[in-house]
Amino acid sequence: MKVLVIGAAGMIGRKLLDQVAKTPEILGAPVQALTLVDVIEPTAPAALAGIATCQAVDLSTAGAAEALISDRPDLIFNFAAVVSGEAEADFDKGYRVNLDGGRALLEAIRAEGLTAPYRPRLIFASSVAVFGAPFPEKIGDEFFTTPLTSYGTQKAIIELLIADYSRRGILDGLSIRLPTICVRPGKPNAAASGFFSNIIREPLVGLPAVLPVDDSVRHWFASPRAAVGFFTHAATLDLDQVGPRRSLMMPGLSATVAEQIAALEEVAGPEAVALIRREPDPVIQGIVAGWPCDFDPKRAVELGFTAETNFADIIRIHVEDELNGKIGG
C-alpha cells in the first residue's frame, strides 16, 4: 500500500507516523511506500526511513497536488491547514491553504482517475469549528454547520466537497471533525484554542502560562493519543457503514477551564496552578464564544471511535508521552 501524508511535520502527522513505525499493520495493510510532505520538509521515523520520501511542498501552489497524486497513493491523510487564529487574521492565506489547497488535491485525484481507474481513500482533518452558535445543550449528529469563522467555513466547504466527490465515486473520503487536541506538545501556535493546552503544558514544567478567557468557558477535548486513534481507525473503517454523510464528529469530553485547572491541581499540585496568569483577551474571547462546547457523537461511537472521559487522564497522557513521566521544571 502507498500512503501519502500531507501536513506530516505537524503534531498529529508526526504522532501518526510514530504509531505506524511501532505498529506497521495499524493502517490495515503493509505500507510499501510512504510520501511525507509539509511546507517544511518532514522527517520520517527511523523505522520508516527506508520506504519514505520526504518533501517540502505547499499544496496550494500550482502543480503541487498533481505531482503528489501522480504516484497514485492508496491512502491519503490531509492534515495541512492554517490554524484558526491565523486563518482569521490572514484572510487570503487561510483561503489559499485551507480551501484552494484542499480543492486542488481533490481535483488532482479526479484528473488522475480520468486517465485510468483510481479511487483512493482520503482522510481529512476537519474541526468542531464547522459549527456556529447558537447551540443546543449537546450537539448531535443532525445539527447543521453554520461556522462563525473563516477557518470553520474553509473546513466545512472541504467537507462538502469530499462528500460529493465520494458520492460520485472519485474517491472514498471521510472528514474527521476533531475536538480541540489537548495537551499539545511543543511551543504555543497561532490557534485561538492554543491557551487550552498552554495552561496545562507550561505549568507542568514549571513555566508561567496566560489564560485569556474566563474560567467558566467550556470546550470539547481529546488527547493527541486519541487523535491518532481517530485517524488509524478511519484508515481501516468500512466506509459503507458511514453512508453518504462523510463527516463524523469525534468523541471527546466536555470540560470548563475551571475543570481543566482542577485536573491540573489533581495531577501536579497547587504550585502548578499558581503559574497560570489571567489576562483577558477580547479577540480570543470573541472567537471562542462562537465555538461549540459539548457533543453527542453517537455515529462515531457506534463506528468504534473512542476518546478519554476524564480530563486528568488527558494530562497524565501528556506527562507519560511528552515528559517521560516527570512533572516539574
Helix (H) or strand (E) holding 37: strand 33-38
Pure H helices in the chain:
11-22, 64-69, 84-89, 91-94, 102-115, 150-167, 194-204, 224-236, 257-268, 270-273, 282-289, 298-302, 311-322
Pairing of strands 253-256, 218-222: antiparallel
Among the listed residues 279, 266, 271, the one whose alpha carbon sits nearest the alpha carbon of residue 203: 271
Contacts (Cβ under 8 Å, ≥6 apart) of 92: none
Query: CA-to-CA distance for 174 and 125, rounded, in angstroms?
Result: 9
Q: Which of 95, 118, 151, 165 is catalytic?
A: 151
151 is a catalytic site residue: yes
Distance CA 146, CA 54 (A): 37
Closest listed residue to residue 19, CA positions, set 39, 47, 53: 47
For the annotated catalytic residues, the residue numbers are 151
